[in-house]
Amino acid sequence: MLALGRGIGLGAAGVTLALWGWFLSGKLYNTAGITTATYSVVYLMVLIAVVGVFAAWKAWPHLMLLVFFLSFVPMGFYLLGTPGVFFWIGVTNLGFLASGILLRKGRRAQPPEF
């Protein structure tokens, strides 16, 4: 369970980072309506995804669940309702939830360390 949770978390974070990077490149859509505030939010989402990489690597379920909450509630849920490629950011944010749950179950299955 622990290895599966780490793999899902790392994969979800990697795809999320790639999609936000694609958005920041500006090659997909017309950038006329994008403001400085938009870029600030996207950079925050990138930072949260980087924390997701760290949480998955260290197998810290509580941090991964916090990453899910911070990334899904403001942006991921909204992006699930949009057409196009950025729909997948919402899906990968759900991967953070799956990773957090699997990491938590995997941690419970391990004997305590002294």
pLDDT tens readout for residues 68-111: 999 999 899 999 999 889 999 999 999 999 999 999 999 887 66
Asked if residues 84 and 38 have their Cβ atoms less than 8 Å apart, the reply is no
Return the pLDDT at 111.
Answer: 66
| Counted domains in the chain | 1
Q: pLDDT value at position 84?
A: 87
Does residue 99 lie in a domain region?
yes
Q: Would 46 be classed as within a structural domain?
A: yes
In a domain, 114, yes or no: no
Q: How many whole angstroms separate alpha carbon 68 and alpha carbon 100?
A: 8
- Residue 83 corresponds to which tokens in the numbers above? 């057409």
**How far apart (Å, rounded) are the C-alpha atoms in residues 98 and 34?**
31
Helix (H) or strand (E) holding 79: helix 77-80
Give this prediction's pTM.
Answer: 0.88
In a domain, 113, yes or no: no
Give the domain extent around 99: 2-108
In a domain, 55, yes or no: yes
